[in-house]
Amino acid sequence: MAGHSKWANIKYRKGKADVIKGKLFSRLTKEIISAVKQGGADPKANTKLRMVLHKARSANLPNENIERNIKKATSAAQTDYIEISYELYGYAGVGIIVEIMTDNKNRSASEMRIATNKKGGSIANPGSVAFNFERKGIIQGKKNATEEELFNLVIESGAEDFDQEEGFCIITTASDQLFQVRESLENQGFICEEAQLQMVPKTYIECNSENQRLNLDLIEYLEAIDDVDAVYHNMKLS
C-alpha cells in the first residue's frame, strides 16, 4: 500500500469510527446467529461458533449481546443469514467492494441497483474488482515505543508490516493471524485500539476532486444500507 493513500483511507475510516463500530457489532451479531443455526449453541462442539465468539470478544462486543443472540438463534422463528459480496465500479474506474450479510438476498440485490441508480457507478462482474484487493488483518493503536522497539515488536509477534504517523501505528498481518498477533502485541505492552479483517487494495486510483466527491457520496450511501457490513475502495484520497 502506498503510504499516503493508506493513511488518508485510515483517517477517513477513523473519522467515522462510531459508524464502523456499529457495523462491526451488527456483523458479529449475524455471524453468531448463523454459527448457532449451523452447528448448535455449544461452542465446545461448534468450532465456527467458538471462532466467532473469540472474534466478538476481541472486538469488545458486550457479553450480554453475545448471550442474547445465542439464545435468539436457537429459536425456529429466527432466519439464517447468508454472506454476499458485490463488486462495483465508481467514478473514474474506482473499484468498490461491498460486503453484506443478509437474510434476504433479493432485497440486497435491489438495494445495490437502487444505490447505483441514485448515486452513479455500476455493478461489476464477479472478480473484476476483487482481483485488486487482498484480505489482511489490520491492527491500529497508539505508538508507545521507539521505531526500533516497534519494529522488533512487530517481527516477534508474527506481523507482516507496520507504519506510523503522528503517534499512531498501523500493523498489517496475514488474514489468519490477526487475533494471534493482537494477543502477542498486547502481551508485550502495545495499546491496541482496533483489530479487523479488511480488504486492502493492491493499487490505488487517483481522481479529480469532483470524482472523489461523487465516489464518497456513493460509498456513504452504501454504508448506510442496513444489510451492508463494510465497504472498501481503491480511491486515492487527498
pLDDT value at residue 47 = 87
The pLDDT of residue 165 is 72
Residue 114 is part of a domain; what is its CATH number? 3.30.70.980
Query: Does any domain span residue 91?
Result: yes
Q: Are 87 and 130 in contact (CB under 8 A)?
A: yes
Contacts of 146 (CB under 8 A, 6+ apart): none
Domain count for the chain:
2
CA-based nearest residue to 94, from 218, 224, 221: 218
Joined together, the cell numbers standing for residue 175 give: 488474514
Same domain, 141 and 191: yes
In a domain, 49, yes or no: no
Residue 163 lies in a domain: yes
Indicate if 192 and 93 belong to the same structural domain. no
Domain assignment present for 148? yes
pLDDT at 4: 43
- Clarify whether residues 177 and 223 are in a common domain: no
Residue 228 sits in the same domain as residue 124? yes
Helix (H, G, I), strand (E, B) or coil at 163: strand
Distance CA 185, CA 157 (A): 6
* DSSP state string for 212-227: HHHHHHHHHHHHTSTT
Question: What sign has the CA pseudo-torsion 141, 235, 82, 103?
Answer: positive
Cα separation, 93 vs 235, whole angstroms = 9
Same domain, 88 and 189: no
Separation of alpha carbons 196 and 200, rounded Å: 11
Grid coordinates standing for 49? 461458533
Q: Are 191 and 220 in contact (CB under 8 A)?
A: no
Domain membership of residue 126 (yes or no) is yes
- What's the domain range around 194? 133-201
Is residue 174 within 8 A of residue 226, CB to CB? The reply is no
pLDDT of the residue at 183: 87
pLDDT tens string, the chain, 238 residues long: the values are 334 455 556 555 655 666 667 788 888 999 999 999 989 999 999 988 988 898 888 788 899 999 999 998 988 888 889 999 999 999 999 999 999 999 999 999 999 999 999 999 999 999 999 999 999 998 888 777 777 888 888 888 899 988 877 677 888 999 989 888 988 888 888 888 878 888 999 999 999 999 999 999 999 999 999 899 889 999 998 7
124 with 208, same domain: the answer is yes
